[in-house]
Structure 1
Amino acid sequence: MGAFVALATLAGCDEVDEQDRFISMGKVEVKRKVLLEDFTGQLCSNCPKAHEVIDNLKAQYGDTVVAVSIHATSVFGIPESTSPMGLMLPEGDVYLSQWADPGNVSLPTGVLNRKGGLCDYSKWSSGVRSALAEDSDVELKLEAVSMVGEDSIVIRVHLASGATRNAKLQLWVTENGIESIQSFPDHVNPQYVHSHVYRGAVNGVGGEDVVLQQNIPSDLERGVRMKPNWKPENLSVVGFIYTIADGVLQVEECKVK
């Protein structure tokens, strides 16, 4: 955990102008994809504002921005295990605790490419813009197929790297179009549509160790069983390669076919 917290000393979102807006940013040379981990909660009345920022980023940059909404904290989250409408899994606080004590964090907040520490949603625009322009020598491709009659998903992963390194591969299942409760400053919407929702880790909460060989591609296959409350047609798989020192080296997302 301490290694993650130490990353907060790196240049991050807290160094950009809080007043930046999409309309004044101009064009950016996109060199890679960016992972945005959005820590959110159904009882967090300001969290829909962060969701709007994600929608704007997706509209501007398309699939080069990979967003995952991770429901977290006992204050703002509704546990999946205690409510049919809950979206918070225990891993939510585990992921958040890599950056701060979940009991002392105000949501919404997020992390870009697992670098720079927690970042207020008002800074995500500039943070994403900067991250898109960073070089990456890692290639990641995903294919996910649901197995009819088996209630499972097969995930095929292709990896390539311009340098030899030890890293981690993390695979997540996410879901769009989930109608459930969401608090707002002045009301509660019982049919709010939640997007990019973290639904589970395929290969462990911290991912699995992988060795990337310089200019030697590799392929692997993983599987996960679908939960009864998942809608297969709304599922995606998010995969990313990361190291503690360098954060996310590359990220990819694919729809489950």
Structure 2
Amino acid sequence: MKIKTLLYTTAAGLLTLASCDTVSENDRYIYVEEAEVQRCVLLEDFTGQQCPNCPNAAVETNKLQESYPNSVIAVAIHGGPLSPNTPVSLKSHVGDLYYSAAGQPKLPAGQIDRLGGTSVPEQWMGNVHTAIQRKAAVALSIENDYDADGNKAAIKIKAYGMNAASGKLQVWLVEDSIKAIQAMPDGSSNREYIHNHVLRAAVNGTWGEDISIAKGSEKTVTYTADLNPKTYMPNTRQTWNVANMHVVAFVYNDNGVQGVTKAALISNAENSH
């Protein structure tokens, strides 16, 4: 599938609040040629409820997903000083750790397929254009079996080696359609703001688990995910809506993300963002 997109920003669209980084003149009005879509890419969106520019990053994410349908998997990671440490915040048990590992960037900031460092939202389209043309080394699929009585999910992940690959397999729980307060670009606070693809938990450890797969071979890994937020954060007052949750799985190493996929936690709850 080939997709042609136009990357642009305008001076009027750049805010100068302290929480937001800016983009240089050289990164504006960049025409992006046709891209051969070879893979899904992972967008880690570092964000915070007290970040007034972060809703603009959500708009950029929507543009990316419209430009590359079914090829951009976004995860919003709440961490850092603009993500409050309160029992009802959207911060996960690993959010601050991931934010620190990314270099504690000014918010909003994103990391595309863990290639290079973080970038501002105005640069995401160009970075996705580059990443999406890399051939995936690992093809992943997810099968989820939700146990309502136990409030758990059995997660089966199959990995197929398109090429020989080794690194870490990471499994996350994310949730869409969360209504929670958000600082807005106009200085207001929106208590009805809808947050999507919010990282809720790391199922198999903060940094995942080792995986190695030969070209042409397949591996199957299974996990049981507890869907009680207190399992991960004992003092939290978060409530999770499993009907709006997804599992994101990816393999990464020093050369970035080698393959990524996403599946609804409940198979008949297809609420994707």
In the superposition, the TM-score normalised over structure 2's length comes to 0.81
Across the aligned residues of Structure 1 and Structure 2, the Cα RMSD in angstroms comes to 1.8
The 5 A counterparts of 1:143-162 are 143-162=143-162
**Using the alignment, how far apart are the partners of 2:169 and 2:131 within structure 1?**
20
Q: Which runs of 5+ in 2 are unaligned?
A: 1-22, 230-238, 267-273
- Partners of 2:68 and 2:152 in 1: CA distance: 31
2:224 aligns with: 223
Distance in 2 (alpha carbons) for counterparts of 1:189 and 1:254: 30
Instruction: Provide the C-alpha distance between the structure 1 equivalents of 2:70 and 2:121, rounded to a whole number of angstroms.
Output: 19
CA deviation string 1:21-64 (max 9, x = no partner)? 7xx53532100110000000000000000000001111121221
Distance in 1 separating the partners of 2:264 and 2:162: 27
Task: Please give the residue correspondences for 1:78-93 in structure 2 after superposition, counting only pairs within 5 Å.
Answer: 78-79=84-85, 82-84=86-88, 86-93=89-96
Q: Which moved more, 1:135-144 or 1:116-125?
A: 135-144
**Contact 1:151 1:226 (8 Å CA) reproduced:** yes
Partner of 2:245: 235
The aligned runs of 1:1-257 (5 Å cut-off) are 18-20=27-29, 24-73=31-80, 75-79=81-85, 82-84=86-88, 86-100=89-103, 102=104, 105-185=105-185, 186-227=187-228, 229-243=239-253, 245-257=254-266
Instruction: Evaluate the alpha carbon distance shift between residue 166 and residue 25 of structure 1 in structure 2; reply closer, same or farther with a 3 A threshold.
Output: closer
What is the one-letter code of the residue matched to 1:98? A
1:139-171 CA deviation, whole Å, 9 max, x = no partner? 111122211211001111011113333211000
Q: Percent same amino acid among aligned pairs?
A: 32
* CA-CA distance at 1:15 after TM superposition: 10
Shift of 1:17: 5.0
Q: Which runs of 5+ in 1 are unaligned?
A: 1-13
The answer to whether the 8 Å contact 2:137/2:164 transfers is: no
Residue aligned with 1:58, SS: helix
Distance 1:181 1:147, change over 3 A: same
Distance in 2, Cα, partners of 1:156 & 1:16: 46
- Measured at CA, do residues 222 and 133 of structure 1 come closer, stay the same or move farther in structure 2, by a change above 3 Å? same
Task: Tell me the secondary structure at the aligned position of residue 117 of structure 1.
Answer: coil
Cα separation, 1, equivalents of 2:25 and 2:251: 26
Kept in 2, the 8 Å contact 1:16–1:126? The answer is no
Query: Could you tell me whether the CA contact under 8 Å between 1:20 and 1:125 is conserved in 2?
Result: no
Shift of 1:176: 0.2
How many residue pairs align between the two structures?
234
Amino acid at match of 1:40: T
Higher helix share: 1
- Alpha-carbon separation, structure 1, partners of 2:27 and 2:101: 24
Deviation (angstroms), 1:251: 0.5
Q: Is the 8 A contact 1:16 1:123 kept in 2?
A: no
Letter in 2 for 1:248: V
User: Shift of residue 215 of structure 1?
Assistant: 1.2
Cα distance in 1, alignment partners of residues 162 and 92 from structure 2? 36
